[in-house]
Structure 1
Amino acid sequence: MNTCGVRTGDQSLQNQPNYMVEIPIAPLHNKFNPLCLLGKRKDHQGWHTENFDKKVWKNEIVQATLADIRDAMILSGPFKYFPFWCLDRLLGLSIQAKYYEQGKIIGHKLPKPEQIRIEDNPPEYKRSKRFYVFAELLLLKNNPQYGYLWNLILAQLTEIPVRAVSSINRRFSENKMQKIPHG
């Protein structure tokens, strides 16, 4: 299989069969930006990946990173936090933080026919009920030196009030529908 990407200037080949696309490392070197609290996050723009799935990774770096994530899940003594979702993003960004070198190619994306995606919430649809911040706190626990990760978490924290109001509205709507007599 051949490779293409931004580094070589031939990313247009990504839709051709037998081409894996190079995935540049996430821009973890970006500085902390307190404006993220106002919803002004722009440091995540550009060609990179955060999620682990549908990529080709080296087994030894995945295993070493999984050990770091496992250790980060220990809150105190026997108490552990295990995120119910977002583990693919947690693993993808943890690998990149552990082996960070600016401009490095961190993995390859397979051609579309080879990608397998089985989930209820595909990325082309608006996400619902997924909240990354708790898994991302594990990222920050292991990698507090990266402003990009602080910006990521701050942007998520700004969603808490919006999600709370949305959840309350949803509950009221459901209760209202249950009280309407059918028939």
Structure 2
Amino acid sequence: MTIPIPTGPPARKPLGPGLIAFIVIDVILVVGVVIAAVVLLGGGSGAPGTSPTTPVAGATTPVAGATTSASPSAPVTSADRPGGTDQRFATPSGNIVCDITANGARCGIASLAQKPAPVDGCDGSVGFVYVVDASGKVDVPCVPKKELPKKAGKDVNVLGYGQKSAAYGFTCTSDESGMACVDDATGTGFSLARAGGRVL
């Protein structure tokens, strides 16, 4: 009697449920590690081939009569400003009178501790009036002698020291040292006091 000898490979046992679960978990972990590596090494968010940009704010040194700009990405007009009501107010001393309108915040000072130096091309004085307009630009205009600011009359509201007045996206703050007005959106503005004015 002849006994047949098997010639093929021995039959394999099927994988148990525990071993299958182990393999699935390993695959998930490997895929997770690969995704994390791609995100970390690829720079995070953004389209491929692009790099994030960081805006750099430029600093300017105020010069009498100079005009500075906040350089917004698109031109801003008074029509783009938040709403409000025109305001007129003065410091308790009456030496500084300010107006806030949709076009900007403007302050004039009647008396400075020291007369500003003359500026070429100005047939008047520079340094008595400061303006921040709807685009965030600060201007120190030449004011003719006949139009120089005067002390506030009794009909002008007083903005007490430490108080603020805001409208149209501009805020002015009264302080014992003077008045400061800024464009809320850009942070640019000016301060004005008896010692003089400066661009913020």
Max Rg structure: 2
Q: Give the TM-score category using the shorter length.
A: under 0.3
Greater fraction helix: 1
Calculate the TM-score normalised by the size of structure 1: 0.25
Higher relative contact order (CA 8 A, sep 6+): 1
Structure (1 or 2) with the greater strand fraction: 2
TM-score after normalising by structure 2: 0.24
